[in-house]
Amino acid sequence: MELQNDSITTIMDFRNKLKKFVDDRNWNQYHSPKSLAIALNIEASELLEVFLFQPDDFIPKNLDSLTDEMADVFIYLMNLVNALKLDNFSEIIKQKIERNAIKYPIKEFSAKNYKKQ
C-alpha cells in the first residue's frame, strides 16, 4: 500500500509501512523501546542542528534538511509505537491535548495576555 496525502493517510498506514520496512530487514532485534527512544532523541538533535547558530527567525531557504529530520523523528516515534504495540495512539494524543487544554486555559495562557516581566 502506498502512502497517500495527509488528509487520508492514517497513523496505522505509517505504522504498517514502517513495520514492513523493519520486518523485511530483520531489525526488530535492534528496536527495543530504549534504543528507539535514544534514536528518536538523536534525530530530534539533528533537527536542532539545522538551526544551530542561526538567528531566532531562521528558516532554511531549502526545507529539505529540515523536513528530512522531521521525518526521521516521526519515523522513530512510529517505530516506538509499534515496539510498544500501542493500538490506541490517536486516543493517547487526544487525551494529552485535552490535558494540555486544562493545564493551559486560553484566558490565562493566550500569548496576547502575557506581560513581559
Point out which residues bind Mg ion (CB under 5 A).
43, 46, 69, 72
Nearer of residues 71 and 92 to Mg ion, judged by Cβ: 71
Cell of 48: 536542532
Separation CA 69–CA 25 (nearest Å): 22
Shortest separation between residue 73's beta carbon and Mg ion, angstroms: 8
Closest separation in Å from C-beta 104 to Mg ion: 31
**Residue 75: CB partners within 8 Å, gap ≥ 6?**
18, 43
CA 87 vs. chain centroid, Å, equals: 17
Q: Which is nearer to Mg ion, 13 or 46 (CB)?
A: 46
Q: Which is nearer to Mg ion, 76 or 81 (CB)?
A: 76
